[in-house]
Structure 1
Amino acid sequence: MNTTTTTRPAPYIAALAVSELFVDHSYQRPLDLPRARRLAESWEPPLIGVIEVSDRGSDQQPRYAIVDGQHRYAAAKLRDPKAVLVANIHTGLTPRDEAHLFYEIDAKRTRLTGWDRWNARRGAGDPTVLAVESVVEDAGLRVEDSPTNGSVRCVSTCEKVLKLGGQPLLRETLSLITEVWGVEVEAFDAPLVHGTALVLWHYGKTINVERLADAMVDVSPRQFKAKAVALREYERGSLPKLAALVIVNTYNRTKGPKLDKPKDFTKRSPQAGVRRPASLAAAS
């Protein structure tokens, strides 16, 4: 029996104008335009790398089908319609071959984890990362991907809290949690940290933090999370929002003025104001 092995020429590197490139949507994923715009705004040539293309032949214009790199291509076009990209050019491929190559590249690509990105940003001196880690360390905690007491792993959540209310909100959130549960690792679960921050942010000075701490101490972090998950049956929203509602419910069961439940915790209550730290309030 005769067998035939198809040997294709090895790919080669060349610079191609974006006008020579196109995307075959019969196998390519849809373009994420916001992603392309972000890439265009933060464009750094050394980080763009080499795109993978297939030469469809001189009788087709545009000539080169993008196999890998359509968002870099779109970003380059947004920046400059006459831009040039470095490409690894494959020849002798059918559209089916291109689709297979696209799959192989995507499947074998090593994707960065959230921690990989965080560590890289730390190394680059990212001010947001440094701000988060400064607050965490001041609270007597550690930023690390380890399920041990004293470790804060929810760095993405911490970044959201920082964006919402700056270092003061993150500091107050971690201070409250450590006052209630110490350095127990489950206390720093993302939904609970985020939910606590949402409550502190929305109600501001209208909430009695000492009363809140006394209310929360009787419920374990695991119970808070379980109640938030169970609340999905009756309430709509993200897990952090549901955790915030559970915290409010817990607070309202104690003696004293009750809190109204907002539709959006990220919007401050008109009476929120700016609450002074308890130490300053006691000194006045």
Structure 2
Amino acid sequence: MSDTAENDCPVQDYRDPGEVPVLDWIDKGLIDIDAAYQRGLDEIRVEKIMTWFAWDSFGAIVVAPTENERYHCIDGQHRLEAAKRHPNVQHVPAVIVAVSGTVAEAETFVAVNGDRKNVSPLEMYWAKLAANDPDAVTISQVAERAGLTILRYPAGQGKIKPAQTVAIAAIRGLVDRRGAMRARQILDVLVQAELSPITAPQVKACELLLTDPEFSEHIEAEALTDAIQGSAILLDDEAKVFAATHKVPQWRALAAVWFKKTKKRRGGAKVAA
């Protein structure tokens, strides 16, 4: 009796993975870039890798053998370029794949990069927090003191609760620009308004109204909270219309709508379109 019959489980046909690649350290001077399929270099990215060069985060590049015992870099050209510029690096770790010619190399490039998932700002935040990165720790402390919960991943519609957010990039920018204490005060307005969720446009709109002298002199945090609370959805809809009509970003339109709603000490200021 076959294994299929005994286990009542169909046999899965898997794709032949091909020839096993070779792992080796290669002289960086022997590796070239084929411009036919490679992207242009991002100089800022190269400089950053070189400045913070460390083997524990370098990883292995992917190369294919060419003529005269040289190689083409299929994946990892920015790391390779950083290694080439680094005076203390001579060899780089590499996965040598058995492909030959530009077409085959380009196909491998597409296969390697086509399904690659970039790390999101939210995922990077949680990783940095686990590594005790000072900036991530500061963001965590600011959020905690404001009563804001940063989710590990986006929640489905209807499952998110008030004072929860995934807008980590907006919060990081707020802390960078305003400092921990001021950022906490701004986030506190949104938390007290029981917004669900707290979004990036809301963070930026609140920051504008409470920090720009044109508006902050005519509005108080408590009044802004009162204006937003209970009518966030209607105000968001109004802001969408405002943004489309005046051709401005959503966050600036939201600031205009919130400012109009907040009657406290209005002095004629207007949010510029």
TM-score by length of 1: 0.77
Identity, in percent, stands at 19
Equivalent position to 1:164, from 160, 163, 177? 177
Once the 2 structures are TM-superposed, how far is the Cα of residue 70 of structure 1 from its aligned partner?
Answer: 0.7
Counterparts of residues 31-180 of structure 1 (less than 5 Å): 31-58=41-68, 63-80=70-87, 83-144=90-151, 145=153, 146=155, 147-179=160-192
Question: Equivalents in 2 of 1:121, 1:73: separation in Å?
Answer: 25
2: CA distance, partners of 1:231 / 1:23: 49
Quote how far apart the aligned CAs of 1:141 are: 2.8
Give the drift of 1:166: 0.9
Whether the aligned pair in 1 keeps the contact of 2:228 and 2:258 (CA below 8 Å) is no
Using the TM superposition, give the Cα deviation of residue 205 of structure 1 relative to its aligned residue in structure 2, in angstroms: 5.5
Q: Partner amino acid for 1:248? A: F
Provide Cα deviations, 1:101-142, integer angstroms capped at 9, x if missing partner. Answer: 111111243433333212110111112221122122122232
**Is this contact kept in 1: 2:239–2:257, CA < 8 A?**
yes
Whether contact under 8 Å (1:151, 1:185) holds in the other structure is: yes
Check conservation: 2:21, 2:98, Cα contact below 8 A: yes
Q: CA deviation at 1:67?
A: 0.3
Whichever residue aligns with residue 188 of structure 2, its letter is S
Structure 1 Cα separation of the partners of residues 137 and 210 of structure 2: 23
Verify the 8 A CA contact 2:163 2:190 in the aligned structure 1: no
SS at match of 2:48: helix
Contact 1:11–1:90 (Cα < 8 Å) also in 2: yes
Q: 1:233 aligns with which of 244, 256, 267?
A: 244
Structure 1 runs not aligned, ≥5 long: 1-6, 264-284
Partner of 1:223: 234
Cα distance 1:91–1:152, how it changes in 2: closer, same or farther (>3 A)? closer
In the TM superposition, 1:14-29 aligns within 5 A as: 14-29=24-39
Q: Residues 25 and 226 of structure 1: is their aligned pair in 2 closer, same or farther, counting only changes over 3 Å?
A: farther
Distance 1:210 1:115 in 2: 28
Q: Is 1:213 aligned to 2:224, yes or no? A: yes
Structure 1 residues 218, 39: CA separation in 2 closer, same or farther (over 3 Å shift)? Answer: same
Root mean square deviation, CA, Å: 2.8
**Do the aligned partners of 1:36 and 1:74 also contact (CA within 8 Å) in 2?**
yes
Deviation larger for 156-165 or 204-213: 204-213
Change (3 A) 1:92 1:173: closer
Shift in alpha-carbon separation, 1:136–1:261, aligned structure 2, 3 A: same
C-alpha distance 228-22 of structure 1, shift in aligned 2 (>3 A): farther
Contact 1:19 1:81 in 2 (8 A): no
Following superposition, the deviation at residue 36 of structure 1 comes to 1.7
- Where structure 2 has 5 or more consecutive residues not aligned to the other structure, the ranges are 1-16
Partner SS state of residue 125, structure 1: coil
Shift of residue 255, structure 1, vs aligned partner: 5.5
User: What is the letter of the counterpart of residue 169 of structure 2?
Assistant: S
Aligned residues: 250
| Residues 32 and 226 of structure 1, relative CA distance in 2, 3 Å threshold | farther
Whether contact under 8 Å (2:148, 2:165) holds in the other structure is: yes
